[in-house]
Amino acid sequence: MQWVSDILAWYGLHQRVLPWRELPTPYRVWVSEVMLQQTQVATVCPYFERFVARFPGVNELAEAPLQDVLKRWEGLGYYRRARYLHEAAQVLVERHAGQLPRSPEGLLALPGIGTYTAAAIASIAFGCAVPVVDGNVQRVFARFWGIEESTRTAPTQRRLREGLTAAVRRSMDPSSFNQAIMELGALICTPTSPVCGSCPLSPGCKALAGNMVAMLP
């Protein structure tokens, strides 16, 4: 899988400087992934920095009044996320000695954490070889692998997950691999006007070779 090495090399050169990447503790990764649900990176950055300055760890978040947590979230929207963070922090203190579970399965048991977020935290914070598969990732690999079927169908989603599971295991660096494919979808393989000339996957991209980039997924 030469493309795995290519995308990791690209990420090493072009990754954005983001506050949660500077110190990727499990807590900071968790907070960032929850904030990034349905919210743009540029919007999240200042909120993230203020939030972790006020609540630097699980214990501080668990002990804070909910209204204080919601106040620090004010303007970010989708306030249920803040409530889930607060509730999950209390669960972590009560049941896990203030530590996040290291596995996707353990993370899924926490309030507000779904399949994608569990995979992101487990891979980025703990190096678990599990793929992250969201709409951006589906778009990148529907194009790269030339998948013409809808990415919403169960067979297509299974195909994507199986292919990405093999790739993330081959990468030997699940954290960088998953962040690389998310970065690629955000910066290069965008829904419209993708920058194919700068894409590390372009040599093997079936959509590009078949002049189908605009049609997929």
41-54 and 66-73 helices, crossing angle to 10°: 150
26-35 and 41-54 helices, crossing angle to 10°: 140
Residue 183: active-site member? no
Of residues 22, 33, 63, 148, which has the active-site annotation? 33
Extended beta strands in 56-187, E state: none
Peptide bond into 155 cis (omega under 30): no
Burial of 125 (0-12, 13-18, 19+ CB in 10 A): buried
Active-site amino acid positions: 33
